[in-house]
Amino acid sequence: MFSHTIIEPFRVRTVEPIRQTTRAERESALHQASYNVFRLDARDVLIDLLTDSGTGAMSANQWAAMMQSDESYAGARSFHRFRDAVANITHLTHVLPTHQGRAAERILFTAMVRAGDVVPNNTHFDTTRANVEDRGGIALDLPCAEGRDPELLHPFKGNMDVEALERALREHEGRVPLVMVTVTNNSGGGQPVSMANLRAVHEVCRRHGIPFFLDACRFAENAWFIKLREPGYADKTPFEIAREMFSLVDGCTMSAKKDGLANIGGFLALNDESIANRCRNNLILTEGFPTYGGLAGYDLEAIAVGLSEVLEPDYLRYRIRSVEYLAEKLQKVDVPILVPPGGHALYLDAKRFLPHVPQLEYPAWTLSCALYLEGGVRAAEIGTVMFGLQPDGNEVPARMELLRLAFPRRVYTQSHVDYLAEVIAYVRQRSHLLRGMRIVEQPPALRHFTARLAPLAPGFYAS
């Protein structure tokens, strides 16, 4: 067969207009939004790469399944379909639907984490960290050494540092209620975790008698990377690989807004009956009856179908390739990116993009404002605004200073990506003109969502 462009493996039959704006309009919108792109109105955004969460396009099969949902309060047929779809992939015994991933985290940690406990993770996502800390726990990030260097090429930069995990378990003996691994490692650049690493963490946890959980939001993308990069997996299907990943854990939290291909939803799945019962009681208190967990029956249907579509090889090939395609374009014009490109997102390396902006003047955040201003592109900072504020109120520079361009699933086409590359290249040419930002107002936690900022040199933002 001839080698060909990897195309979108679908055709479009419903369209949603996106709106062009002028630079002056965007300048005013950005000012109104206090230089925080979370505060922008979506109608003022042309290409929205803020997140891949809940922003995907559903398939005709998902919509069809939704029409046939069972909205019974208890024991609905839609719950059974959902539970079977989750169990088919994970083989975990107890499946609890939740309205999204962070609800699964909160419910799990409420059952398992006490004040002073330590929860190791390859890298906590912001809501996961916040939920551990909300219980009075300590969220410990243990990424492998390769994962800390945005310029280093390595196939599995999402891996956990297993020796550091051993040390942590000895040091905090009796205070580690569970170990988590996030696949793919979102805050660490959308990087995958190898099966060998999952197996090693599984072994350590088993020896110490500590439950091992996956933060499984992007399990299918992780499975595809294992297929591409890990010896022995090239001939396995993504489904088989995903099954093997889940066979190594005692439970998982999941945001179905990512690899569930749904616009809302999530779940907690686990084997331990007594913990599952505690979680179920909490679920009833805060989310809803255990067979709907804060979701409509049609949401459960959409997830059930999504979990199967997300493992289709053609979909995953296109998905991973579209991020890589942007990476290749940007590397040709010397835009510094985190390598290799992630599964759901490409990360600009703001330390190298804006070397003249100190981290406490938020270079990645600055870049988010510049991309919006010049091209109507919205992206999310994963840097010092997101991670710099410590529970004690001190501020420290984040380990990596990244701007994440997250790709909604099945939404944008190759010409959108071409346009995006042009905007970034243009900002790159003008990057020496950019100065940093200061925070004018912020909440005590998860400040990036609502903080107000101001440019240190407003000139760039004036036409």
By the criterion CB under 6 A, which residues form the site for ligand F0G? 51, 53, 100-102, 125, 127-128, 182, 186, 215, 217, 255, 257, 266
Question: Between 388 and 436, whose beta carbon lies closer to ligand F0G?
Answer: 388
Contacts 24+ apart (CB under 8 A), 353-356: 353/403, 353/428, 353/431, 354/431, 354/434, 354/436, 356/432
Residue 344 CB, nearest distance to ligand F0G (Å)? 8
Residue 173 CB, nearest distance to ligand F0G (Å)? 27
Residue 223 CB, nearest distance to ligand F0G (Å)? 15
Residue 446 CB, nearest distance to ligand F0G (Å)? 11
Question: Between 36 and 431, whose beta carbon lies closer to ligand F0G?
Answer: 36
Residue 377 CB, nearest distance to ligand F0G (Å)? 16
Question: Between 142 and 357, whose beta carbon lies closer to ligand F0G?
Answer: 142
Query: In angstroms, rounded to a whole number, what is the distance separating the alpha carbons of residues 70 and 291?
Result: 11
Measuring CA to CA, which residue among 385, 362, 380, 384 is closest to residue 455? 362
Residue 293 CB, nearest distance to ligand F0G (Å)? 13
Residue 79 CB, nearest distance to ligand F0G (Å)? 19
Question: Between 51 and 159, whose beta carbon lies closer to ligand F0G?
Answer: 51
Residue 330 CB, nearest distance to ligand F0G (Å)? 21
SS (H, E, C) the chain: CCCCCCCCCCCCCCCCCCCCCCHHHHHHHHHHCCCCHHHCCHHHCCEEECCCCCCCCCCHHHHHHHHCCCCCCCCCHHHHHHHHHHHHHHCCCEEEEECCHHHHHHHHHHHHCCCCCEEEECCCCHHHHHHHHHCCCEEEECECHHHHCCCCCCCCCCCECHHHHHHHHHHCCCCCCCEEEECCECCCCCECCCHHHHHHHHHHHHHHCCCEEEECCCHHHHHHHHHHHCCCCCCCCHHHHHHHHHHCCCEEEEECCCCCCCCCCEEEEECCHHHHHHHHHHHHHHCCCCCCCCCCHHHHHHHHHHHHHCCCHHHHHHHHHHHHHHHHHHHHCCCCECCCCCCCEEEEEHHHHCCCCCHHHCHHHHHHHHHHHHHCEEEEEECHHHHCECCCCCECCCCCCEEEEECCCCCCCHHHHHHHHHHHHHHHHCHHHCCCEEEEECCCCCHHHCCEEEECCHHHHCC
Query: In angstroms, rounded to a whole number, what is the distance separating the alpha carbons of residues 53 and 261?
Result: 9
The residue to which tokens 């940093």 are assigned: 436
Question: Between 53 and 359, whose beta carbon lies closer to ligand F0G?
Answer: 53
Question: Between 10 and 449, whose beta carbon lies closer to ligand F0G?
Answer: 449
Question: Between 52 and 250, whose beta carbon lies closer to ligand F0G?
Answer: 52
Which residue is nearest to ligand F0G, using beta carbons? 101
Tokens standing for residue 443: 């909440």
Question: Between 302 and 434, whose beta carbon lies closer to ligand F0G?
Answer: 302
Residue 410 CB, nearest distance to ligand F0G (Å)? 17
Question: Between 181 and 248, whose beta carbon lies closer to ligand F0G?
Answer: 181
Residue 182 CB, nearest distance to ligand F0G (Å)? 5
Question: Between 125 and 461, whose beta carbon lies closer to ligand F0G?
Answer: 125
Question: Between 50 and 357, whose beta carbon lies closer to ligand F0G?
Answer: 50
Residue 134 CB, nearest distance to ligand F0G (Å)? 14
